[in-house]
Amino acid sequence: MRTFHVAADLLREAMARKWFLGLGIAITALLLGLVGGLRLEVVDGALAATRLFGSLVEASVRPADVALRPVFVAASYILFYGGMAFGLLACADFAPALLSPGRIEHLLSLPVRRWELLAGTFLGVVTLGLLASLYGAGGLLLILGAKTGVWTWHPLLAAALAVVGFGTVYSGMLLSAVLVRSAAVSAASGALLLLMGILASYRIPILASMHHGPGRWAFALWSSLMPSLSTLADAAGNVAAARPVAMAHLGAVLAGCVLFSGAGLALAIWQFERKDF
């Protein structure tokens, strides 16, 4: 299917961009720094001492997997929000570049359906996010696993949840790019969607503090349509820490985000199909 070819081309193009080159170098440098500078002393399954570049880190002695949980949780939140912020900036240009004069005409003249171009762009960006997240999370758990003997796949799952969140935001950015071919507007719309997603996660307590009226009604309406991104971030943190998670609740949050992504993508394709270039 040509969607995958479009996605593969996007990945190839991303590898050549300085943003992602820089990201790859930064993650690799961080991981190598941990390899060389982090010393963990494990006694009978308990993390007895931690040394970072020779300096002893004051910490209690507790089971290694329990001691690593805050690290995984922190990494999960950094991945979610930090990765989201990076993705907003670094990926904002892909759709506007696709739609640029000279390129879109050429692509549309090829035997590729219009929706395949957008779907392929979406898929490529999400795959890019997934690869970067898995590289960072996977590298971290490989290093910590080798140093402590604690092997867990939960951080990888948390990384995947973060990518679902990013996909939700990117669908809105894609729609924005189709409407207004501008990387800046696309990034701004992504940031706005992220903010709305955070607010929508707390809609119940916010609604409880609002007086009844048109404002409350409007907030209730739009917040019910927005994806609960903070809820997903918290769920990812719980998953990373191997804390118990209500699977039905997590499944509902995930489904909501995926459905929202689908809606954003469908709207973008609707506009794209009608557009003249």
Partner 1 sequence: MSLALEASGLHKRYRRWLFGGPGQTALRGMELSVPRGTAFGLIGPNGAGKTTFIKCLLGIAWPDSGSVRLLGASPADPAARARVGYLPERLHLPDAWKPPAFLSSVARLKGLDVRPAELVALLERVGLGDAVQRRIGGFSKGMRQRLGLAAALLGSPELLVLDEPTDGVDPLGRVELRRLLEAELERGATLFINSHLLSEIERLCSRIGILSEGRLLREGPLEALCRTEDAWEARFVPGAPEAALMAAGFRAAADGGFLIDAKDAVALNAALERARLLGALLVELRPASRDLEQVLADTLRGSA
Partner 2 sequence: MKPRRRPLLWLLAALVLLTLAALVKRGCEDAPEVASRPPPEFPRAMRPAESQRMTARGVLPQRPQPGHHRDPVLSALSAPDAGMALVFEANALRHSPVGELLLDCLASMDGGSSPLDELRQLGVDPLKDVDRVAVGDGTLVVTGDFSRAQWNTLSGMGSVEPYGDGSQIRTLVGPEDGGPPATFATWGDHLVLLAGTRDAAMAALDRIEGRAPVGQLLSDTQAYGDVYGVLNGAALSEVLGPADSPVATQLQAAARSMEIHLDATHDVDAVASVSGDDSTQLADLGRTLAGGLAAARAKALLSGDTPTAELLEYAEVVPGREKFNLEVALPFEVLQSMLAFCSQRAGADGGPSRRPNP
CA distances from 82 to 115, 125, 159, 162, 271 (A): 30, 16, 12, 10, 30
Interacting partner of 204 out of partner 1, partner 2, none (Cβ under 5 to 8 A depending on kind): partner 2
Neighbours of 270 (CB within 10 A): 13
Residue 58 or 106 having the CB closest to partner 2: 58
> Which of these ranges, 73-81, 120-128, 159-167, 250-258, lies near partner 2 under the rule CB under 8 A?
250-258
Residue 195 or 259 having the CB closest to partner 2: 259
Min separation Cβ 147 and partner 2, Å: 16
Does 263 sit near partner 2 (CB under 8 A)? Answer: yes
Q: Per-residue x/- mask for partner 1, residues 1 to 40, rule CB under 8 A?
A: -x--xx--x--xx--xx-----------------------
Phi-psi region of 102 (alpha: psi -120 to 50; beta: other; left: phi over 0): left
Residue 30 or 266 having the CB closest to partner 2: 266
- Give the rounded distance of the alpha carbon of 229 from its chain centre: 10
Does 253 sit near partner 2 (CB under 8 A)? Answer: yes
Instruction: From 157, 154, 168, select the one nearest 230 (Cα to Cα).
Output: 168
- Hey, which residues between 12 and 71 contact partner 2 (CB under 8 A)? 43-46, 48, 58, 60-64, 66
- Hey, which residues between 206 and 225 contact partner 2 (CB under 8 A)? 224-225
Residue 32 or 246 having the CB closest to partner 2: 246
Rg, C-alpha atoms of the chain: 21
Does 100 sit near partner 1 (CB under 8 A)? Answer: yes
CA distances from 76 to 72, 80, 117, 123, 154 (A): 6, 6, 31, 22, 10
Of 60, 109, 209, 224, the residue at the interface with partner 1 (CB under 8 A) is 109
Contacts of 132 (CB under 8 A, 6+ apart): 20, 23, 24, 27, 83
Does 225 sit near partner 1 (CB under 8 A)? Answer: no
